[in-house]
């Protein structure tokens, strides 16, 4: 071996050992999951309640499935601050009776959610009567009017996270 080769090989070996011992950079941490999102859910009044009624005692299979899915979604959402349950009615009948019916429907949904495990102190329930319609149905009469106004008979649920 040439006499200049030994120092060169020693320097090369030292450089390789230094490079091998150098710490590898830490991998970047996984991104934070997105914050939980507030959500709105509309329940069909006709799927939950008989016309002019506010009891959930005789729910249809579809109505029960919708309420159960809503309860599961609320319970699975982290950091729920408040769940607002807002009942609505159609315009058929007297205003005071519609407000009371919509209030009772909101209370029935609130009670269902509480029975499913949602903390009662996180839920509000109010009735708005017919003041926030989603359809007008001008010119309809009788059963055609009742059928046309079905979208107005609803319960809206607004889950708000912290």
This prediction has a pTM of: 0.75
On the question of pLDDT at 43 being above 90, the answer is yes
pLDDT of residue 68: 95
Do the bridges between strand 154-161 and strand 123-127 make them parallel or antiparallel, or are there none, so unpaired?
unpaired
Q: Which CATH superfamily is domain 39-161 in?
A: OmpA-like domain (3.30.1330.60)
Rounded to the nearest integer, the mean pLDDT of the chain is 87
Confidence class for position 28, pLDDT limits 50, 70, 90: confident
Confidence grade of residue 30 (pLDDT, cut at 50, 70, 90):
confident
Q: Which residues pair with 87 in a beta bridge?
A: 127, 155
- Cα(157)–Cα(72) distance, rounded to whole angstroms? 13
More reliable by pLDDT, 55 or 28: 55
Could you report the per-residue pLDDT of 85-110, keeping only the tens digit for each? Answer: 999 999 999 999 999 999 999 999 99
- Per-residue pLDDT at 5 exceeds 70: no
Looking at residue 116, its pLDDT comes to: 96
Three-state secondary-structure class, residue 87: strand
**88: left (phi > 0), else alpha (psi -120 to 50), else beta?**
beta
How large a percentage of the chain has pLDDT more than 70?
Answer: 81
Per-residue pLDDT tens over the stretch 123-158: 999 999 999 999 999 999 999 999 999 999 999 999
In angstroms, the CA 25 to CA 11 distance is 25
Domain ranges of the chain: 39-161
Judged by DSSP in three states, 115 sits in helix
- pLDDT, tens only, 50-79: 888 898 888 888 899 999 999 999 999 888
More confident residue, 83 or 11: 83
């Amino acid at each position: 071996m040439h006499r200049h080769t030994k120092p060169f090989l020693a320097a090369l070996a030292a450089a390789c050992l230094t490079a091998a011992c150098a710490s590898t950079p830490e991998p970047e941490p996984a991104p934070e999951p997105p914050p939980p999102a507030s959500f709105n859910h509309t329940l069909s009044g006709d799927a939950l309640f008989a016309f002019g009624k506010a009891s959930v005692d005789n729910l249809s299979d579809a109505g029960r499935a919708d309420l159960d899915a809503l309860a599961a979604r609320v319970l699975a959402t982290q950091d729920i601050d408040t769940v607002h349950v807002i009942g609505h009615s159609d315009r058929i009948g007297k205003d005071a009776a519609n407000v009371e019916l919509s209030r009772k429907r909101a209370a029935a949904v609130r009670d269902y959610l509480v029975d499913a495990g949602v903390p009662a102190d996180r839920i509000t329930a109010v009735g708005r009567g017919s003041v926030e319609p989603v359809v007008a149905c001008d010119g309809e009469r009788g059963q055609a009017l009742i059928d046309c106004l079905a979208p107005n008979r609803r319960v809206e649920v607004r889950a708000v996270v912290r």
